[in-house]
Amino acid sequence: METHQKSIQKESFIFFKVNATLQQLIFVALLLFCTTIFVSPPIALVLGLIVANLFGHPFLELNHKATNYLLQFSVVGLGFGMNVHSAVSAGKEGFLFTVASIVSTLILGTFLGKWFKTDTKTSHLISCGTAICGGSAIAAIAPVIKSNEKQTSVALGVIFILNSVALFLFPAVGHWLDLTQKEFGLWCAIAIHDTSSVVGAASKFGPEALQIATTVKLARALWIIPVALITAFIFKNKSGKIKIPYFIGLFILAMIAKTYLPQMESVAPHLVSVSKIGLTITLFLIGAGLNRNVLKSVGLKPLAQGVLLWTFIAIATLISIIYLK
């Protein structure tokens, strides 16, 4: 995945050409600014977009790896702010929504790919990214179907663009529809692509929304394994390796420690605070990875497929949560 991202981001157009030292200083200064109380996750994403497109990204080759590890660290840390019993309850409630949405999204994605005549592997990656957990799902499925750099890059570009829009759109719609925290947590966990934006959007909405959204989304991420196995069968690839999100186990251990170890009561709030800062920096780095080359590489048909799939899952899930529960 790292190679794929670099392939569409290198030699990106920037508005202000500055020397390497000044470029690094500007980038680091804004990154440090994102650790303060003045910057929310959505603002961090915008700052990343601005700095990357105005001055360039001086550490582009490290961006994906840093984003991946920071997100995992932040999600595990958020586990110290959650209760096992509440999380299990939320996971059970979100199970049917998860299964129904994954199956329907993958089926619809297949038909949309044929309708738009999108490349088969690109179409499947977009569908998996929308159905499960964004870039992580694409990174896991790509080696299974043996996609090339362009196919993976286009799918990642579609998902990252829509993922960024969701970070701003979902909280606004949630407040407009006067959703409860429980409803919003379920909705964004199922309908927003990537864990980073799910946690970012839910944290803006409230603590209960954050707990439900994080738990349901991580349970959803485990569906990478069966989907990857089915994908290997469909694409007739017996040797493809499946990337399992092991950090979810650490998240569960963090919840157990918070629930059953009294000693954690004094430490847990600080761990959660540090984790939220980590999430904000993660979104800054994601924004910094969305330069003009990424946007241009996507293409109209894959983007249209991604938008229609996302619209379907967002509206269908929202109606189900509000009217069918």
Pick the residue with more confidence: 121 or 12?
121
Q: What is the pLDDT of residues 33-86, one digit of tens each?
A: 999 988 888 888 889 989 988 888 888 888 888 888 888 888 888 888 878 887
Angle at 97 between CA 164 and CA 184, to 5 degrees: 50
Query: What is the distance between the alpha carbons of residues 249 and 40, in angstroms, rounded to a whole number?
Result: 27
Please state the pTM of the whole predicted model: 0.77
Contacts of 40 (CB under 8 A, 6+ apart): 204, 280
Q: Confidence class of residue 249 from pLDDT cuts 50, 70 and 90?
A: confident
Q: Give the SS3 label for residue 248.
A: helix
- Find the mean pLDDT for residues 297-312: 88
pLDDT at 20: 83
Please say whether the beta carbons of 1 and 152 come within 8 A: yes
Amino acid at 167: L
**For 249-307, what is the HEC assignment?**
HHHHHHHHHHHHCCCHHHHHHHHHHHHHHHHHHHHHHHHHCCCHHHHHHHCHHHHHHHH
**pLDDT, position 28:** 94
- pLDDT band, residue 180 (cuts 50/70/90): very high
Least confident of 124-128, 235-239, 258-262: 235-239
Instruction: Return the pLDDT at 281.
Output: 92
Helices first, then strands: H and E counts in the chain: 16, 0
* Mean pLDDT of the residues in the chain: 84
Average pLDDT over residues 310-316: 93
Residue 209: pLDDT band by 50, 70, 90 thresholds? very high
pLDDT over 70, % of the chain: 90
What is the mean pLDDT of the segment spanning 286-298? 77
Give the residue with greater pLDDT, 154 vs 107.
107
Is residue 176's pLDDT more than 90? yes
**Residue 3 pLDDT greater than 50, yes or no:** no
- Tell me what the mean pLDDT of segment 264-277 comes to: 89
User: Which residue is listed with tokens 């949405």?
Assistant: 101
Closest to 42 measured CA to CA, from 167, 137, 172 = 167
Task: Report DSSP letters for 98-125, one per residue.
Answer: HHHHHHHHHHHHHHHHHHHT--HHHHHH
Predicted confidence (pLDDT) at residue 115 exceeds the cutoff of 60 = yes
What span, in angstroms and rounded, lies between the C-alpha atoms of 312 and 157? 19
List the structure tokens of 230. 């089915």
Q: Is the pLDDT of residue 239 over 70?
A: no
| Cβ 290 vs Cβ 160: under 8 Å | yes
